[in-house]
Structure 1
Amino acid sequence: MWGLLTLFISLIVFCYIFKRKKNIIESLNKFERKYRVIDDLYLLPLIKQFINHYVVQCLITKRFSLWYEFESNATNNISNSQIAIKYARLIPGKDFKIDGENSFEIENLTYKELYNCILRMSFILREEFGVKKGDKISMYFMNKPIFIIIWFSLWNLGAIPTFLNYNLTSNPLIHCIKVVESNIVLVDDECEKTFNLTKDQIKFQLPNIKIFLINEIEFMNKLKDSKSPKFRENDKIRDEFIKYWDPAVLVFTSGTTGLPKSAVNSWRKIFMASHLFPRAMHMTKESNIYTAMPLYHGTASILGVLPALIVNGTISIGHKFSLSSYWTQVKLCECNTIQYVGEVCRYLVDSKKTLNEDYCYNKIKLAYGNGLRPDIWMKMKKRFGIFAIGEFYSSSEAPFATTCYEYNGIGIGAIRNNGYLASKFLGFQYKLIAMDSNDETIILRDPINGFCREPKINENGEMIMRILNPKNIKSTFPGYINDDAATYSKIIRDVFKKGDAWVRSDDLMKFDELGCIYFVDRMGDTYRWKSENVSTSEVENQILEFVPNIKNCVIVGAKVKNHEGRAGYALIQTKLNNIEEKDEIKRNELLNKIYDSSIKYLPHFARPVFITFETIEFTDNHKISKKIFRDPILPSGKNGNLKIYYLDSKNKGYSLLDAETYEKISKGEIRL
């Protein structure tokens, strides 16, 4: 009896302890979900890297250039065997639809081979092309290894690479070369035809500029030849007079004034990209990153190539994005990481099963990029067996980036999901500020003290970035090359206290109960389409310049069902006040002129996707109020009777948009 009683009591005590233990475990899980301490602990080594950069590099050695870190990786014990670059080259005469995997040849460069190619290219650039320290060299190139070879050769020489969008022609291209004061332009032979459309204009406006055509095959043969001479610049010459806020790379971003602006990516910024970003994304020397994003864009170059090479990993380059061969290229390059922009993920998720998709299932540890919609996020992980999504937020000119490494359901759709401690630390660098509820382009300030406030949970606010030294703006935010007006227009002062200074992002965000931050929308006169920022003024100026019958033109971004970003939506008023709209022949002639000029003078992502006719009135100060035209409703306007025309690539013109066509567009049956 006593034995049974003892057993009964023991069971009660055991159940009590077990219940308590279970409650403790549940409490710990809730605490970890809210504060994410484990994630914070993983990021602790970044403190050492911060100290190394800001104390050792900035104040003692003053070696800001990433050349030295790349060189260290390229000459270490494993440089002869570790692959630095893989390139999926389509074999001439082969067709993927017919030949499948056999249509590609995978080219490999070890770190040692890449380093030697760079030294040989440095010799050519210096001795044959006359490149010297401080020169700004414009590069008009497709995705291929020689892009990276030239880029790092310029770093070796102390020159500054300028990445041009190979879709640009005419005035935007001339402006890009002119604004950075390039004295040399290097042109990929594959881009020769497009470049030649503007070549005579460039020579006329910039008579002293040197243009060199780079025959890739010929040059790569030279660079791989062990007998070809090499050159490595003297460190003292390379480092002399360089400051950490000086440009390491120049890339271009859409300008609200109508032409691209050259954003300074300083040595400080690319240090962050090469050291802090890969840690946040759990990248290691085992990482093999596949990117088919254009290397002229910071996403692929600064947040793709640099992190891979600095952690001693591999960057695998796709020539350009191909839906049908995407997973085949990933397989052939043996990648475990892929880089995306949101639109690419939508294509992949919505597509039918493609060759080698099953083979790659569960082999991708990380997919990272920006612009991934929440509704696609989990579909992407589930369909392709991807362990983690790494979403980031940055811009070409921004002095920092936010990161979200989602592997456990916390932060789906977010641009930041750091733990409590990391969020507090990063909050010193950037914050959200509340906006006027009636007009979210206007910053809300306290009527008494004039200061801003942070938004409440789930309240929209603009993201701003702290200027560490308000007396020296460019040490934190170098801004745009040779454009102080544009640089300082991004600065806001006296935000939280007298004398402080911050950089505006022009983007609306919000944060949730867990401290995760979510992108809401862009502000002002730019929108994002096909993973590119589009300047409405640039498109308006091109249309008004090359289509003489148009009196006024307004471009806004239109949301398209099941599509990322916003598509270009043009509101047109003709000199005859839209009489052409009622005359089918004249209307089609006008639409054809807009189509022809858009194809000729605008890159594909900036071409108006939709067109309608509208009476456009000016305000009292002779400006057009775009606010009344924002957020157009497809397919037939707010009242359901508006005639809208869409860019019909099949028929090479603009066709009337109806409900049936719009439904096909939303389902992806018609590609915009």
Structure 2
Amino acid sequence: MPRYLAQLHQIQCHSTLAELSSAVVYLSLITSRAPYPLDSIAAMPVPLTVAVPAAAAGLAYLNAKGAVGYDYHLVTSFLNPVFRAKWRQFRDRLSLFYVLEDAALNPKTADNVYLIFEGRSWTYKQTYGLALKYGTWLKKHYGVKPKEIVAMEFANSEKFMFMWFGLWAIGARPAFLNYNLTGKALSHCVKVSTARLVVVDPSFSDNITDELKGGLPGVEFVIFTPDIEAKAECIEPVRSPDADRSEDKSQNMAILIYTSGTTGLPKPAIVSWVKCIVSSGFPHRWLQLKHPDVFYTSMPLYHSSAALLGTLNVLDSGATVAIGRKFSTKLFWPEVRACNATAIQYVGETCRYLLAAPPQIDPVTGENLDLKNNVRLAFGNGLRPDVWNAFKTRFGIDTIAEFYAATEGTAGAWNLSRNDFTLGAVGHVGFLANTLLGSQSAIVAVDWEKEEPYRSSKTGFGKKVGINEPGELLLTLDGSDIEKGFQGYFNNKKATSGKVLRNVLVKDDAYFRTGDVVRKDSEGRTYFVDRI
């Protein structure tokens, strides 16, 4: 048995000594003969029909009290891809191109549908073949080389996916541009990426003005018209040698994904290979997604939620991802029903918008279609407590999988909720998960005047908050190797260093600053409070 699994079995569930002792004594009494003949009843063996249910009830109580089963599932789901990342680094197969390739060449998964978009579908094998074609086209016609950054401005579509994996196929790195940006903001994003080639969805050709091109000398813009698309898909595919995809460290750049730019111009966050591997390996295990599940997302692929926790999440599971072009209350449920989705993704207030929309009625039968879906879980972040149960009830959804994370962050919080116990929480852990993973973060007191973590005037150190007290969430970094956990913003040392705090709780420690205030209660539930 792997060491980490053995350690999991050695950890006791979270209950008080009295509760644990009482349960053990109770189970001993009902499953064995009494050691002393106190009376005839005590000396008699308890029938199995009584002992087994009672023992099961006792164990169920301990499990529920300490969330042992919940934690075991969470921790093992997380540790699996962490160890996989180390193994992939050892084998020099960090690129997730290999995950797609393995699925495409495996007879068990090759013909599984990986991608659905607007009524069309592509198997793992077909997706792999098109990725090779797109990569060959980029390499042959534009001389794209390994490690080169190529910017792509695409709407949600199959072409987004083929271009992305085509770049990975030849060892290049995509920079995902937000297609809503124009002018100065778009020019900035292209410039800071250092890309010399920008491939553009023809839907956004108007964004590529003469003024934009004039301000970016040396940058070539290619509008991916239907004619060019046909050339890319008709080219003879050539698989680039493994050496083109060689990576020496798991923290190396896999993608550039831009921040939203709410406090200035967008910054390109470096998304590492290890983050991509964990994103592809953890959520589908935690959510128990597998073939023939269909995961539907209409969230923008240029952001990490849909890209990493949507499409990559499905990639390693053998299941299917169905992509909507963009979020629409009118199209959301018809697309979910059309692809037979079993899981959906939400971000922010999308569930509130869906809840506010009028019921969709079958034009023939007049039937209310709210419950006519196969969705068993909704996965995302930002679902508000006042919407939580109303959304579940109206659309017949059993499970909410809420999380907290940031594109450039080093850890996250996760809450797999099937009842009201964790309603509204962005994360939930029991004793087991807290013991193994609790060191990944800290919640510290805030100096509200300075809008930063509090520091003692005597020691210079901060302090952790108490149970149920709000504080800023900090994510743990290795003080001797910051880049191992936090790769920062591409070519922006000032912004990168501004997210790192040192000597916070003890000398030489280091943390990533989230800027988010949260609180954690005595039951291991974490709630978002506010943004600093």
* Same structural fold, with TM-score higher than 0.5 when normalized by the shorter chain: yes
Give 1:342's match in structure 2, choosing from 343, 348, 369. 348
Give 2:186's match in structure 1, choosing from 150, 161, 173. 173
CA offsets 1:391-418 (integer angstroms, 9 cap, x no match): 1111121122221111133311111113
Give 2:204's match in structure 1, choosing from 174, 191, 212. 191
CA distance in 2, matches of 1:47, 1:297: 25
RMSD across aligned C-alpha pairs, in angstroms? 2.6
CA offsets 1:304-327 (integer angstroms, 9 cap, x no match): 010111212111011111212221
Whether 1:514 aligns to 2:527 is: no
2:116 aligns to what? 86
Whether 1:234 aligns to 2:225 is: no
The letter of the residue matching 2:68 is V
The letter of the residue matching 1:50 is V
SS of residue in 2 equivalent to 1:286: coil
SS of residue in 1 equivalent to 2:420: coil
1:32 aligns to what? 63
Correspondences of 1:54-133 after superposition (within 5 Å): 54=86, 56-58=87-89, 60-88=90-118, 106-133=119-146
Contact 2:197–2:221 (Cα < 8 Å) also in 1: yes
Deviation at 1:353, TM superposition (A): 0.5
With over 3 angstroms needed to count, the CA separation of the structure-2 counterparts of 1:447 and 1:140, relative to structure 1, is same
CA offsets 1:170-215 (integer angstroms, 9 cap, x no match): 111100000111111111011112x13xx22222122111110002
CA offsets 1:551-600 (integer angstroms, 9 cap, x no match): xxxxxxxxxxxxxxxxxxxxxxxxxxxxxxxxxxxxxxxxxxxxxxxxxx
CA offsets 1:611-657 (integer angstroms, 9 cap, x no match): xxxxxxxxxxxxxxxxxxxxxxxxxxxxxxxxxxxxxxxxxxxxxxx
The letter of the residue matching 2:513 is R
TM-score normalised according to structure 1 size: 0.68
1:389 aligns to what? 400
Larger RCO, structure (CA 8 Å, separation 6 or more): 2
Deviation at 1:17, TM superposition (A): 12
CA distance in 2, matches of 1:290, 1:45: 21
CA offsets 1:355-409 (integer angstroms, 9 cap, x no match): 4673754621211111100111111111111111111111121122221111133
Correspondences of 1:587-666 after superposition (within 5 Å): none
State how many pairs are aligned.
Answer: 486
SS of residue in 2 equivalent to 1:121: helix
CA distance in 1, matches of 2:435, 2:378: 26
Give 1:206's match in structure 2, choosing from 216, 235, 243. 216
Contact 1:492–1:502 (Cα < 8 Å) also in 2: yes
Contact 2:340–2:374 (Cα < 8 Å) also in 1: no
CA distance in 2, matches of 1:239, 1:320: 35
The letter of the residue matching 1:124 is W
CA distance in 1, matches of 2:168, 2:179: 21
Deviation at 1:66, TM superposition (A): 1.1
CA offsets 1:464-522 (integer angstroms, 9 cap, x no match): 11112x12211210110010000001111112221111110010111112111111111
Whether 1:155 aligns to 2:164 is: no
Correspondences of 1:539-618 after superposition (within 5 Å): none
Whether 1:460 aligns to 2:474 is: no
With over 3 angstroms needed to count, the CA separation of the structure-2 counterparts of 1:441 and 1:30, relative to structure 1, is farther
2:360 aligns to what? 354
CA distance in 2, matches of 1:496, 1:480: 25
CA offsets 1:267-300 (integer angstroms, 9 cap, x no match): 1111111112322222223331111111111111
With over 3 angstroms needed to count, the CA separation of the structure-2 counterparts of 1:124 and 1:457, relative to structure 1, is same
Deviation at 1:81, TM superposition (A): 2.4
Contact 2:370–2:394 (Cα < 8 Å) also in 1: no
Tell me, which stretches of 5 or more residues in structure 1 are unaligned? Answer: 1-8, 89-105, 524-672
CA distance in 1, matches of 2:325, 2:277: 26
1:249 aligns to what? 255
Tell me, which stretches of 5 or more residues in structure 2 are unaligned? Answer: 1-39, 363-367
Correspondences of 1:382-461 after superposition (within 5 Å): 382-436=393-447, 438-439=448-449, 441-461=451-471
2:27 aligns to what? none
CA distance in 2, matches of 1:153, 1:471: 36
Contact 2:109–2:318 (Cα < 8 Å) also in 1: no
2:28 aligns to what? none
CA distance in 2, matches of 1:374, 1:18: 42
Contact 1:328–1:355 (Cα < 8 Å) also in 2: no
SS of residue in 2 equivalent to 1:53: helix
Deviation at 1:447, TM superposition (A): 4.3
1:379 aligns to what? 390
